[in-house]
Chain A
Amino acid sequence: DSGVTQTPKHLITATGQRVTLRCSPRSGDLSVYWYQQSLDQGLQFLIQYYNGEERAKGNILERFSAQQFPDLHSELNLSSLELGDSALYFCASSEQSSYNEQFFGPGTRLTVL
């Protein structure tokens, strides 16, 4: 158990809908990262937040957004969902913004029907 928690574990929804994935980092970690894992794209970095502020952005679609709250938990919002958004979404956390090992949560499996 890495100490990173994610909810829900599974999410099944329909195309066009909007969902919110939640992540709580390890105690004391200030940085949160979101990654998407799919069969065709592999593991891809989406976005990083550090102490409430966006720090780095990767291949995140405009339909996706994220934020980190004052208590350091983070939410990833996915809207106008398409079949291709079906994937495993991981959250990871680290102590600082750089040069620290990332610890991964259990993931949220999103299925868009």
Chain B
Amino acid sequence: ELKVEQNPLFLSMQEGKNYTIYCNYSTTSDRLYWYRQDPGKSLESLFVLLSNGAVKQEGRLMASLDTKARLSTLHITAAVHDLSATYFCAVAEYGNKLVFGAGTILRVKS
């Protein structure tokens, strides 16, 4: 059974600082997704990572995938308050079933 672990589960950081969220998964998969969720809202797709070594960047967020280590990272550069949200990684199991991590609650303090 595929398990997905995120850490940390809660992250409080100052504006302007850098930090990384980690996502480990237990079995082989060729697709990993990062989503953002604001309180009471839906899931917004951030990144789709399809191959080993894939790196994608959008604004202050950069995601990478190491399929051999079964590890993905979401790096936040020079955090701003607008990035405050919950971030989920999700790994695709057989077919297109997504298994989600527990989520990382990010709070950026000004």
Chain B's closest residue to A46 (CB) is: B97
Which stretch, B17-25, B42-50, B53-61, B70-78, touches the partner chain A? B42-50
* CB-contacts of B21-49 with A (<8 A): 31, 33, 35, 40-45, 48
CB distance from B64 to the nearest CB of A (A): 18
The reply to whether the CB of B85 lies closer than 8 angstroms to some CB of chain A is: no
Interface size on B, as a range, is: 20 to 34
Alpha-carbon distance A45/B40, docked complex (angstroms):
19
B102 and A42 contact, CB distance less than 8 A: yes
Q: Which one of A35, A99, A105 lies within 8 Å of B31 (CB-CB)?
A: A99
The interface bits of chain A over 6-49 (1 if a CB of B lies within 8 angstroms of the residue's CB, else 0) are: 00000000000000000000000001010100000011110010
Q: Helix, strand, loop or mixed for chain A's interface?
A: strand
A48 and B96 contact, CB distance less than 8 A: yes
B95 — which chain A residues lie within 8 A by C-beta?
48, 55-56, 97-98
CB distance from B44 to the nearest CB of A (A): 8
Given contacts A101-B48, A106-B42, contact A42 B103 (CB under 8 A): yes
Alpha-carbon distance A104/B38, docked complex (angstroms):
13
Given contacts A99-B31, A101-B33, A101-B48, contact A45 B97 (CB under 8 A): yes
Give me the interface of B with A, judged by CB distance under 8 Å: 31, 33, 35, 40-45, 48, 88, 90, 94-100, 102-103
Give me the interface of A with B, judged by CB distance under 8 Å: 2, 31, 33, 35, 42-45, 48, 55-56, 58, 90, 92, 94, 97-107, 109
